[in-house]
Structure 1
Amino acid sequence: MSRKHRIWYPGATYHITARGNRRAALFLEDEDYHMYLSILEDVRGFYPFILHSYCLMTNHIHLQIETIRHHIKDIMKELHSRYAVYLNKKLKVDGHVFQGRYGAELIETAEYFLEVSRYIHRNPLEAHMVNHLIEYPWSSYPSYVHYTNNPHIDSTKTYSFFFEPVHLRYQKFVEKLNKTSVKESH
């Protein structure tokens, strides 16, 4: 039985997830995180896309990607095959780095777009890796809260859902324990 084809159209936005094979670590040290982001930028040069948010966890990744002209399968195939080659070479092993096919949930509403952003950024806190989200270095969250440039992301669309000061309202939206509706965040 063949796999179901992924829905794609120019501008399609996805919550991408991928896990290390057998839940193994994808990132063993800081240079691995840097390499993943470097490969991501290189791939973006061939297959332009917009990255709205990301969180690289020890054994899995979350990306919020908006496509432009290229199918998500082309973007992810290039990104993950190149990272797998890097990691296998570094570890002097062969075989799968990622467990199965990456997940790609289509994001079609503003509410879901924001919920995915919140979910991605809350990952290190929910996994008890940090006490404060701002402490996790392998996420786009610190740049959102500090209102600083992160060359990997475009925060324009996310910020567009909030009134000024957008970075503080976004922080409140993400960090509030009880989920705030999108309308309350404005």
Structure 2
Amino acid sequence: MQPYFWTPKTGIQERERRDRAPYTAWAQQGYLRVCDGAAIDYEQVANDMAEILADVDIQAVAFDRWRIDVLKRELDRLGLELPLVEWGQGFKDMSPALDALEAALLNGEVAHGAHPVLTWNAANAVTVKDPAGNRKLDKSRPTGRIDGIQALAMAFGVATRTEQVQTMPDEIFFV
């Protein structure tokens, strides 16, 4: 599995201080892709995705509704058609996704090459439960990010929900 992350270049040092994370070093080491400017450049993300996915058989892509319209527009502009599956962030969708991810982790089926951003995301995440015992991810502190581990859980969730999916995810994206 290979995770991909993007961040804006402007303000990267401030985010490093706030989140206590070495974003600049991660970018220099190739673990974090940097977009020029103060915001994520969805055109760059879409172009990167097209390049990364050129020889990959994508069976399903779980997505959060937040800002997906901007990325979809750029993917459409490139003619990159992906089998998108809306994935909620609440207990209903995330509890079975976490079950699938947890089972894969416990069975030694997840190898991410010690990717430092994904490892950091996992360290920042905790699970919370609703009264019925369903779980979802939450951050344990106000700094740090959990987006990569959230995307990984979503990928495992959609892989188990989608009948035509034959294998677990090889590529994980977070913007």
Taking structure 2 as the reference length, what is the TM-score of the superposition? 0.30
TM-score (norm 1): 0.29
Q: Which has the higher contact order (CA 8 A, sep 6+)?
A: 2
